[in-house]
């Protein structure tokens, strides 16, 4: 079988022996895949620049036909690097979490091309330190909406109507509830929060990262998204604990009560 060409972001590169690496990428054509890159640890290797983490590269690979076999790299050409991400601690954590999710993406989605485009957009902004937290947050949120179990935010989860005024995101049902379907004890949540969540269904990621938000709305959304990945989708999020312990991502009790 001849070599095939792919366009991919390197999400992990691990030494295999003295001169080889196992490279894990997320590609536009096939989503996540791995290949062995022979000889790339040699100083004379022409492929060594293309297989670094945070690299966008064009690869030619001999793709394995069976899952138990590993593909092999023929050539790699670096197209762009996003190495500035690693110069900022928080930005590095954001992208590490993104890559951990993509490493398990086959469990939840196969929409490779759409995810790849969002990934490039988000990495570009994070690399340039342009609203990095917002880009990270919206990427992992939109990724849920491309999964086999998206949030139910197209209408009310109880009456199924899409025209009724939505006033609450119900955590137990992972969807919106309209004003007529509120149960005793359930609160109307901040309008800004409902609008933020609704726009994930109505608007593109490109639109949403450019908007202005109340910071508490973003933190609550982040907490919901992380909980969903961990407890519903069963995704390991790597260094998410480092973010959970950050003071900036903790909502005080008075503010938190508005979202309960």
Residue range 25-66, pLDDT digits in tens: 999 999 999 999 999 999 999 999 999 999 999 999 999 888
- Does residue 152 surpass a pLDDT of 80? yes
Give the mean pLDDT of 76-88. 97
Give the mean pLDDT of 130-135. 97
Give the mean pLDDT of 170-198. 96
The stretches of 111-252 forming alpha helices (DSSP H) are: 112-127, 132-145, 191-202, 205-208, 215-231, 240-244
Beta-ladder partners of 12: 24
Which of 190, 47, 54, 192 lies closest to 119, judged by CA? 54
Q: Which residues contact 160 (CB under 8 A, 6 or more apart)?
A: none
In this predicted structure, what is the pLDDT of residue 231?
95
The domain locations on the chain are: 4-81, 87-155+160-258
- Does residue 1 surpass a pLDDT of 60? no
Alpha carbons 208 and 250: distance in angstroms, whole number: 23
Give the mean pLDDT of 174-180. 97
Average pLDDT, the chain: 94
CB atoms within 10 A of CB 164: 17
In this predicted structure, what is the pLDDT of residue 253?
87
Give the mean pLDDT of 218-234. 95
Give the mean pLDDT of 178-197. 96
- Does residue 21 surpass a pLDDT of 70? yes
Which is it for the CA torsion 25, 29, 35, 38, positive or negative?
Answer: negative
Q: How far, rounded to the nearest angstrom, does the alpha carbon of residue 245 sit from its chain's CA centroid?
A: 20
Write out pLDDT tens, residues 200-225.
999 999 999 999 999 999 999 999 99
- Does residue 131 surpass a pLDDT of 90? yes
Cβ(90)–Cβ(132) below 8 Å: yes
In this predicted structure, what is the pLDDT of residue 247?
61
Give the mean pLDDT of 5-26. 95
4-81: CATH, from 1.10.1740.10, 3.40.50.300, 3.40.50.720, 2.40.50.140: 2.40.50.140
The CATH superfamily assigned to 87-155+160-258 is Recombination protein O, C-terminal domain (1.20.1440.120)
CA angle 48, 85, 217 (to 5 degrees): 145
- Does residue 68 surpass a pLDDT of 90? no
In this predicted structure, what is the pLDDT of residue 111?
95
In this predicted structure, what is the pLDDT of residue 69?
85
Burial of 14 (0-12, 13-18, 19+ CB in 10 A): exposed
In this predicted structure, what is the pLDDT of residue 246?
79
- Does residue 245 surpass a pLDDT of 80? no
In this predicted structure, what is the pLDDT of residue 242?
87
């Amino acid at each position: 079988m001849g070599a095939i060409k792919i366009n991919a972001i390197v999400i992990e590169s691990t030494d295999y022996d003295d001169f080889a690496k196992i490279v894990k990428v997320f590609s536009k054509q096939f989503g996540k895949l791995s290949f062995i890159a022979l000889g790339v640890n040699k100083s004379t290797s022409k492929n060594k620049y293309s297989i670094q983490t945070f690299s966008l590269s064009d690869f030619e690979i001999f793709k394995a036909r069976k899952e138990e076999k590993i593909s092999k790299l023929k050539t790699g050409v670096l197209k762009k690097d996003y190495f500035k991400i690693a110069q900022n601690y928080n930005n590095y954590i954001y992208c590490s979490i993104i890559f951990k999710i993509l490493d398990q993406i086959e469990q939840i989605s196969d929409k490779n091309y759409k995810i790849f485009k969002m990934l490039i957009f988000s990495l570009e902004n994070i690399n340039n330190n342009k609203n990095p937290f917002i880009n990270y947050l919206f990427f992992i949120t939109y990724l849920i909406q491309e999964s086999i179990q998206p949030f139910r935010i197209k209408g009310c989860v109880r009456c199924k109507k899409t025209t009724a005024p939505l006033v609450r995101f119900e955590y137990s049902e992972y969807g919106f509830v309209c004003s007529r379907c509120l149960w005793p004890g359930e609160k109307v949540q901040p309008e800004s929060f409902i609008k933020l969540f609704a726009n994930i269904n109505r608007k593109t990621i490109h639109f949403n990262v450019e908007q202005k938000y109340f910071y508490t709305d973003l933190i609550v959304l982040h907490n919901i998204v992380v909980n969903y990945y961990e407890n519903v989708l069963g995704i390991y999020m790597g260094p998410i604990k480092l973010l959970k312990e950050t003071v900036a991502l903790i909502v005080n009790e008075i503010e938190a009560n508005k979202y309960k």
